[in-house]
Structure 1
């Protein structure tokens, strides 16, 4: 006994309705629990929002420490060293302040 396309579409529609009803019921229960906890602790939405926002560190520029005099390429000394420094004495290319 095979199920027709129309029967499957009908089952899908019924399942989607059941899923939507279950979601609404669960959401209402979750909201009720949240409101209860907020009332118990005297919290407001503003209290919750302020906890989630973190201060963002501002990026600072790092001064250049090395320069290739032939190409004027620079390197701050952070991260992977550039190829033009491979096998060479870095101190020769250090910028003297």
Structure 2
């Protein structure tokens, strides 16, 4: 009967063999798939894969207020900038 140490050594060897066989078979499968894709000129959509696209960005809002000292602008949305704090916003409004 084999000892624990001998069995663990065999097990490690088998794990390595399994990993090597898997890598070899995956490489072969990928090569076959690439060949078929090229042969039939297949696209990802035809194979059922969805192409993820970046979501469209919303266009920037037009500026409604401008700081005359720095030229900094604010669209009127979100938190108001520090340069408008405690001041009459209408003085800084951009006439469009």
- The answer to whether the superposition gives a TM-score over 0.5 is no
**Higher helix proportion (structure 1 or 2):** 1
Q: TM-score, normalized by length of structure 2?
A: 0.45
